[in-house]
Amino acid sequence: MPMVPPPRLIAAQSYARLSRSVNEGHHFAVTIGKPLARKEDARLLTGQGRFSADVHIAGELHAAMVRSPHAHARIRRIATAPALAHRGVIAVFTGADCRADGLRPIDHTPMPATRYDMKLNAPLGRPHFYGPHDLLPADKARHVGEAVAMVVAHTEAEALDAGEALEIDYEPLPSVTHAEDALAPGAAVWNEVPDNVLIDTVFGDAQATERAFAAAAHVVRMEFHVPRVTACALEPRSALGVYDGERYTLWAPSGGAVRQKRDLAAVLGIPADRVRVVTGNRAYVEYGLVLWAARRLGRPVKYTGTRAESLISDYQGRDLVVRLELALDGEGKFLALRADNVSNVGARCVSLSPLSKGSGLITGPYRIPAATLRSRAVFTNTPPTNPYRSSGRPEITYALERLVDTTARELGFDRIELRRRNL
């Protein structure tokens, strides 16, 4: 087996090749059958990359978020006077201020709309309810790390210090963090959905599946919990909001500005052509808050999160419970599959894409004549989940392939041969 150079050597060689090409005046173009030289390596390897936190504007103020230490709690009172008394503090904003100014919740439109996505329904004919995502909640905190107030000061240190002085009276409430626990009564995240179930859809031919299971020589059952993950991006979230002449500009990390522009315009209640977004993807509350504060205070407002904040407030991924039952005949031929998926979407539903796409792939690459699937999504007192690294496909693939491997081992089949005869 050929030796693979270590990553540092590969990076150094790539940088050297790129530098030589640039110095020789070469122009790169995308061509078929030829390698495409990387353009970004030189600046990143030499520390010349520019991230959102590196963008500064003269006269900018700094914002710090005050976050809930409770998974679920009623906000009885927020005393802002102690924070306002701190040196350098310009303003303290709460959910009551957001409501008084007419700010709207973020409209995440979580339901996938392409013809390739499985259509998901609310249970019992109820209308869809996704949980309003206010920039700052005025009634309850619904997960640890949810921002409940914002302090704006001359420096970041002053804003952080003042945030610690803010006095908040919480009434802790029952909470739930695991998808299966959310199905039990007694810990509703939203009064509008007392059972926490916002999606409950059944796919497939139930009668054909039951007949196949009744005739099966073997049935293998497995249950999986694909755990929650957080992306841990190289740069923690940072946002710089500017208001100038009835127009807003936001600098923020991530990719794709069009959806961000639309969402922020809706939150602020203004036409989309009055918002300019430099990068940005799905809307976060901090992005809307810095734009709003910039208008209120007449100066640019910047927020830069810490790694600790990212771990409790960034949108997260995965978190799916999967139950599978596979029916086989005596020769190892797959006859039917029963599946039950429960997706933990967190305290607000930002996206149903992972559940939808995973539902469409439940039988994987195998020839399975009959199958049924129940797909549910539940609210919990955790940060929202979002598409992450292939949006729902890895979770289902992992569970199904583990099931096939276990079936082969328990029934005495070769794992490759069992797959081959059922492709």
What is the CATH classification number for the domain harbouring 377? 3.30.365.10
The whole-chain average pLDDT of the chain stands at 91
Q: How far apart are CA 152 and CA 296, in angstroms?
A: 11
What's the average model confidence in pLDDT over 287-315? 96
Residue 259 lies in a domain: no
CA-based nearest residue to 315, from 293, 340, 286, 290 = 286
Q: What is the domain extent for residue 129?
A: 59-173+283-310
Residue 31 pLDDT: 67
pLDDT in tens, 60-99: 999 999 999 999 999 999 999 999 999 999 999 999 999 9
Q: How far apart are CA 84 and CA 164, in angstroms?
A: 11
Residue 377 lies in a domain: yes
- If one counts the domains in the chain, the total is 3
- Is it the case that residue 229 has pLDDT exceeding 90? yes
16 and 104, same domain (yes or no)? no
With 0-12 / 13-18 / 19 or more C-beta atoms within 10 angstroms meaning exposed / middle / buried, residue 264 is buried
pLDDT band at 43 (very low <50, low <70, confident <90, very high): confident
Residue 261 lies in a domain: no
- Give the relative orientation of helices 285-297 and 258-268 as an angle to the nearest 10 degrees: 50
- Is it the case that residue 11 has pLDDT exceeding 90? no
206 and 146, same domain (yes or no)? no
